[in-house]
Each structure stands twice: as C-alpha cells, then as structure tokens.
Amino acid sequence: MLIKTIPVGQLEENCYVVTNERTLECVVIDPGDESNTILDYLELNRLTCRAIFITHGHFDHVGAVDTVAEETGATVYMNRRDDTSGRSFHLPYSLPEGGVSYDDGDVIEAAGLRFEIIATPGHSPGSVTIRCENALFTGDTLFRGSCGRVDLDGSVPADELRSLKRLCSLEGDFEVYPGHMDSTTLERERMFNYYCREAMKL
C-alpha cells in the first residue's frame, strides 16, 4: 500500500491517494479542492480510482469530489449523517446519484484493499475515521497534537472526546493521517496530545 498526501486548497486540506501497488488501483480520500492536481497525479502514475471516501462533509474536504468522481467513474462514499439533505448546519455536500452511505463497522473492499469505517462524531455528526492496514485516516477528528474544532454548527464537544477515546483505545500503534497538517502516530498522540489524554480519563 502506497499513501500519497496531496495538500489542496486555501486551508491546505490533506487529500490522500491510497494505492494498491500491485494493481495500480487506488482510493481517493477527501478530495477537497484542486481537482486538476489530483487527477494529474492519477494520470501521471497510471492509477485507476475505484472509490472516493469522505471523512466528513465540510466544504474543504468535498470541493473536488464531484469532478474527480465524474472523471474517474469512482463510487463516492460518505456517512449519511453528514449528507446535507434536510439539514441546516454548515455541511454543503450531498451524495451524488449512485453514492453509498457507510457507517460504523462497515468494511469496504476497494482497489484490492480493505477499509474499515469507524464512526468518530464530534467535529461533525457524520465524521468517520477510515482504517486501512496500519493507517488511520482521521479527517478532522484527530490531528498531531490537537483535535478538530467543536465550535461549528453540528459539532458536539462531548462526542469529540468520546471519539478520541475510542481511537486511543485501539490496540497497537497506527500511522495517523489527519485532514490537515502533518501525519503522526497514535502512540505519540496517546502520550503527548492533551485532548487525547483528557479523553482517556473518561
């Protein structure tokens, strides 16, 4: 498994391309902006995108989803609790026709890889963490030394702490690939992240 980080947009959101090096099939996680940059990377490396996974529905994580999906034919996945249909808070994205809603415990086989969905609400109602092998794609739930904002419409601080506790309670160590800023490890965050340490007291 090869993981490519592509920071996109004014907020430098981390789009990830997770590639099966044997088949050159891939999954794109959170294509938030700059569709041309993402598509150019796929074309340059002769990759076939099989799925697009969204960790949550905020604008900086979904801005290029539709274009990448249209150009690649990939299926879009998102938690239904962040689907904008019928909601008033600041989540601007709705699953396209043919899109799939996933939720806690779902396992998606795509590009010859296995992705497990872990519900981690708090930053948004439908936030998820995506686990693939020894990697966690945490969206805006867990950052290096910090965590996602909980002062937005739809955010719930208590849920955020419970989600951090759940991640920190996973057995073993993982590489953590957050929605912004640098990657880290779960063990490092257990030891040094104030919010994780507070969450583990719950």
User: Residues 36-89: pLDDT tens digits?
Assistant: 999 999 999 999 999 999 999 999 999 999 999 999 999 999 999 998 765 545
Per-residue pLDDT, 93: 86
- Low pLDDT (below 50) residues in the chain: 88
Q: What is the dihedral of CA 121, 156, 153, 53, to 10 degrees?
A: -10
Query: Using CA atoms, how far apart are residues 189 and 178, in angstroms rounded to an integer?
Result: 12
- Is 3.60.15.10 the CATH number for 2-199? yes
- Do 82 and 57 meet the contact criterion of CB atoms below 8 Å apart? yes
Per-residue pLDDT, 88: 44
Q: What is the DSSP letter of 170?
A: S
Query: Using CA atoms, how far apart are residues 128 and 105, in angstroms rounded to an integer?
Result: 10
Query: Using CA atoms, how far apart are residues 117 and 132, in angstroms rounded to an integer?
Result: 9
If you average pLDDT over every residue of the chain, what do you get?
95
Per-residue pLDDT, 87: 54
Per-residue pLDDT, 61: 97
Per-residue pLDDT, 85: 63
* Total-model pTM: 0.97
